[in-house]
Amino acid sequence: MTETGGAVVNGSLRLLLIGPPGAGKGTQAARLSEAYSIPAISTGDIFRENVKNGTALGVKAKAFMDAGQYVPDELTNDLVRDRLSQPDVADGFLLDGYPRTLQQVEELDDILGVDGAALDAVVVLTADTDEVVRRLLKRSAEQGRSDDTEDVIRKRLEVYTEQTAPLVDVYSGRGLVVDVDGLGEIDEVTGRIIAALASR
């Protein structure tokens, strides 16, 4: 049982975090991982960990990554299935970056269903597009990333919306979605998420 700013969580908590580029998703994932004492799991981390350890799945993933290609759904699903079988997720987890497609939603249902489990909530960080564009332009200037123009950033946000809208619709239909304003001070946003989850 974990006490988090007035919210008490009993048993395991299985969360999915969705948010547009620039909404501070990575930062909030780390915060929530600490608050609820559950591992934050991103597909990027899973890929890197398997590649680093030279696992059979990692070797396959590396071949695609080295060729500059996306790791196919089937292999991504296998990597996530393997990660969610590890002992540290017994008390819950926070997924970031998976599922990205409706096929992956079904796959995640299957992975969790083996143990009679399911997601407890899907936190959707919302953010005003113009504010996110401003934030990402500032970040790209600080990091010297001249390729991140306003047009490119707006296109990325459009793609994000197109890709995630069907997923959000599915999870909304299951009554799992918690919309949280992702803009503001980091502590404020974390507090909003924890309060929203506590009120479910």
101 C-beta neighbours (distance < 10 Å), count: 15
> How crowded is residue 144: how many other Cβ atoms within 10 Å of its Cβ?
7
- Confirm whether 60 is a catalytic residue: no
Rounded distance, CA 148 to CA 140, Å?
6
* Catalytic hit among 25, 60, 83, 135: 25
The span from the CA of 35 to the CA of 74, in Å, is 32
48 is catalytic: no
Concerning whether 139 is annotated as a catalytic residue, the answer is: yes
Pick the catalytic residue from 62, 100, 134, 154.
Answer: 100
Annotation says 155 is catalytic: no
How many CB atoms lie under 10 A from the CB of residue 156?
A: 17
| Catalytic, out of 145, 155, 174, 200 | 145
Task: For the chain, list the strands marked E by DSSP.
Answer: 2-4, 7-9, 13-18, 40-42, 92-96, 121-126, 177-181
By DSSP bridging, strand 13-18 and strand 92-96 are parallel
> Over the range 91-100, which residues count as b (16 or more CB within 10 Å of their CB) and which as e?
bbbbbbbbbb
Choosing from 48, 81, 134, 156, which is the catalytic residue? 156
For residue 113 the two structure tokens come to: 């269903």
Is 100 among the residues known to form the active site? yes
Q: Per the residue annotation, which of 48, 62, 81, 139 is the catalytic one? A: 139
Give catalytic residue positions.
25, 100, 139, 145, 156
